Amino acid sequence: ANFSEQVVESFPSDISTGIYYGWACVGNGDVHKMVLSIGWNPFYKNTKKSVETHIIHTFKEDFYGEILSIVIIGYIRPEKNFDSLAALILAIQEDIEEAKRQLDLPEHLKLKEDNFFHQTEGRIVNNH
């Protein structure tokens, strides 16, 4: 799930590019583990910074237009370029496994139940 340019521009300017892990919730649904990429995606030669969320869950249908709420818990690694698509895919798989391990820790697991994820009505999102 990619955030819009407007949302990306509202992220703190001093946040390091790289791969993060945390929790994500689509609409008022369940909270799932996620991996987040913040940066330029050098393999694809992006000209604009992007924030892409990989929710570690299989959804039955698309969720375009839904509110995506995330909580970033930790940092996995810096952004980097890859020699091949296969190397990129392998790194993504390793990032997902690291996120799963980290998010199973009790101190991270408890954040899954935070009220943040269930207050979408009336919540201000990106100053709107």
Return all residues near 56 (Cβ < 8 A) that are at least 6 apart: 32, 33, 34, 35, 96, 99, 100
* Total residues belonging to the chain: 128
**Cα gap 66→43, rounded to integer Å:** 28
Task: Return the sign of the alpha-carbon dihedral for residues 11, 63, 70, 18.
Answer: negative
Give me the catalytic one of 5, 52, 94, 113.
Answer: 52
Which DSSP letter does residue 104 get? T
Q: Is 52 one of the catalytic residues?
A: yes
Token pair recorded at residue 50 = 């992007």
CB 40 within 8 A of CB 46: yes
Q: Which of the residues are catalytic?
A: 52
